Structure 1
Amino acid sequence: MTTTVINHIHETTTATTTTSQTQSPPSPTTTPPHHHKQPPPRDHHCNHHH
C-alpha cells in the first residue's frame, strides 16, 4: 500500500512539476496577466452592453 501511494505521488509530482515548469510559467503566466491587464476585453464588454 505504501509503495503504491509513494509511486502515485512521485508520478503525479513529476508530471505536475514538469508540466508546470515547462507549460505553466511561460504560457499561463504570460497569458492571464496580459489578458487581465489588457483593456480590450473590458472595452468589448462595455461596447457590447452599449
Structure 2
Amino acid sequence: MRRRRSTVENPDSTNGTIVDGAKIPPGNRAPYNDGDELRPALDVKSKVCSRQK
C-alpha cells in the first residue's frame, strides 16, 4: 500500500504560510513531514507529529 504524502496550502494569505523555513507561494501547496515546523501565519508556530498505527 502506498502512503499518501500530506500537504499544506497557502490560499493567498496576507502573512504567508511557511513550512520548515520555506515560504509557500500564494495559491500553492507544499509537502510536509513528521517533525517539520508549520507556520500558517508569521506569528503562529506548530510542529507536525504523526502517529504510527
Q: TM-score, normalised on structure 2?
A: 0.17
Question: Which of the two has greater helix per residue?
Answer: 1
Give the structure, 1 or 2, with the largest relative contact order (CA under 8 Å, sep 6 or more): 2
Larger Rg: 1
